[in-house]
A and B are shown apart, each in its own frame.
Chain A
């Protein structure tokens, strides 16, 4: 890694940042309380003297910037998590369903893995190639340690024992119409090849609730293409801003697969189907337990 070559990584002094960053840092502390504060303090990164790691993650910035997301987690979506103890130590691939038009599900999984487990971890989500073309979002996602989902990036991060979040349905999942809610769309195979290659265990994740945050009735595909967007959903509330639904996130038991990374598609697909079936079962179970969309 370019960074490994960079020795003498001076840590930035732990002094509190000023300005806007400082205000947000205070909010993070207020919303999260002592328990979260203590966990955030334990996070480390391979930061250089300018405070960023090789993938652009700026930990101090992130601790401040998560304040609004933390608020959504605690007070808006009132996220309930199950099975965080299933996330093993070391490198891991979190494979989740994707829904809700805007990727709040990713953000909530990210917060869950920061604040819920004994050992907090900074999840790296494999993001859409569309994001780096968006002003502000491109920078924001990069400083939060989120990385464009290319196989090479994923390989590199797994080699560093990172926690990777993949939505194998991609845009097809997040932008699906409400009539297909909680029906998993087609899964890509890429994550399985990477898991086999790097012998990484897979933790299936099911997010229940996000489908109802912005129920799409139609997708204006032509308009989306004109605007260069992956989709242009028409949602109940007009703008695809999320309704205050209740989130339930289920982390399943880790699944380990054996086999070669260059197996034929058919063989890999079989394993992908196992993961997909597990997540679908977790979703169904979660839906059965759910009494109400909003609480």
Chain B
């Protein structure tokens, strides 16, 4: 009876959170080229590069019941070539092994950013919307390709229950993605006169969504939403940030210069996310899998401060971060 769940990219912050959630109910096997901090004793880690042939050994025993593929690299400073082979070639390799050794369930973590922010977007993009992210931001083409590859795999292997998850921006204390990093800035740049609606999901909810995707019978492409949608300004206000609004041509030129001088980790095209909307309709996952985020909007936003709702004592609700008064000059709603 196959009983192992293989997680690629397990040593990342999201991977570790997922491992912690799953290893109580499943036998978890990890693949990552990085060592895993705080590895639970009963977790088996294969410390190898996804592109290596040795990855096949993980599946060879034939005891894998599911593969969760998070092994996608986001480091914007890494060379494009390294990125591309790791993400696209790595994905195709690991998915092929899964098919060869008859793994019945494959979950691929994509992202709702594959649709790409645009002024012409529907307010809620469905799973059928075209993946336009590469149009303005070529570094994200990897992710689009991985997503497309996973969809193609779904058709090629009807015997496998493939699930492609496209969660909205994942926030967490230790999560190092662009949205979390941005919300951690004390004085983030905003684009004057633009306040797009953003959707956010807590890392623990994102992990729960992946666990839910393991449910037998479920297959397909799913947007995964968190507890709701807010204007960017409300999220910044909740965190007590003092944004610096700049006219968008100025902001773009500035970030470009900072990027070239290696003074920022935000690739200039990421500015699109604070310029235009890229919100998704998460109804399909709700309908087919009964998805529901467990944390509130407030808890999700404040996750970047490291206030995990479980650890937070009730009394400190308003104490740690001074919440800015409603009359902040930087906000239109002021």
Contacts and interface: CB of A to CB of B under 8 A. Distances in A.
Nearest to B247: A135
In the complex, which range does the number of interface residues on chain A fall in?
35 or more
Nearest to B301: A50
A19 B231 CA distance: 20
B297 interface: yes
Given A48-B228, A48-B230, A1 B281 contact: yes
Interface core residue of A4, A20, A48, A147 (most chain B CB under 10 Å): A48
B142 interface: no
Given A50-B231, A56-B197, A142-B195, A5 B283 contact: yes
Nearest to B285: A5
Contacts of B122: 148, 150, 152-153
B332 interface: yes
Given A143-B333, A152-B126, A135 B193 contact: yes
Given A5-B282, A150-B122, A156-B124, A135 B333 contact: no
B123 A147 contact: yes
Nearest to A8: B296
B192 interface: yes
A133 B119 contact: yes
Interface in A105-148: 129, 132-140, 142-143, 147-148
A21 B120 contact: no
B333 A21 contact: yes
Contacts of B234: 50-52
Task: Determine chain B's interface SS by DSSP, over half rule.
Answer: loop
Contacts, number: 119
A102 to B, nearest CB: 18
Nearest to B333: A61
A54 B297 contact: no
A28 to B, nearest CB: 16
A18 interface: yes
B228 A56 contact: no
Sort A-B residue pairs by CB-CB distance and give the 8 closest, nearest first: A135-B193, A136-B193, A132-B119, A6-B228, A50-B234, A152-B122, A19-B327, A139-B195
Given A1-B124, A136-B332, 7 more contacts: A2-B225, A2-B281, A5-B282, A20-B334, A135-B194, A150-B120, A156-B123
Interface of B: 119-124, 126, 191-195, 197, 199, 225, 227-231, 234, 238, 247-248, 276-277, 279-283, 286, 291-293, 296-298, 326-327, 332-334
